[in-house]
Amino acid sequence: MGKLTTHILDLTSGKPAANVKIGLKRLGESIMKEVYTNNDGRVDVPLLAGEELMSGEYVMEFHAGDYFASKNMNAADQPFLTIVTVRFHIADPDTHYHIPLLLSPFGYQVYRGS
């Protein structure tokens, strides 16, 4: 049974990014899910699993600006990134798709994990 998971690492601290809002939708549809990361930078349950996970294009929005603003940065150090948008394709709904995000206020890296 397939599932979609994610996690976020804050590169400025080298620690998981807790309490980051994540929005998920299938392309052409409204928001499917809005969740927040836990203290380990993950969500408590898969974003999608089983019959919820279907083939198609998806968009995941990581609310990075709100996360870094909550860290009480100086006004001059306000984050450059506000929402990191990742568009990806689910080809096989019976597979585990994991999308890790490495995040800083000024850049990010995302990849298909395992």
Predicted pLDDT at 47: 97
Convert the pLDDT of each residue in 41-59 to its tens digit: 999 999 999 999 999 999 9
CA distance 64 to 18: 11
CA distance 90 to 97: 8
- Tell me the residue range of the domain where 15 lies: 3-110
Written as six digits, the tokens of 28 are 């052409």
Count of domains observed in the chain: 1
64, pLDDT greater than 70? yes
73, pLDDT greater than 80? no
- Asked whether the beta carbons of 75 and 90 are under 8 A apart, the reply is no
| More confident of the two residues 78 and 35 | 35
Predicted pLDDT at 72: 73
- Asked whether the beta carbons of 39 and 15 are under 8 A apart, the reply is no
69, pLDDT greater than 80? yes
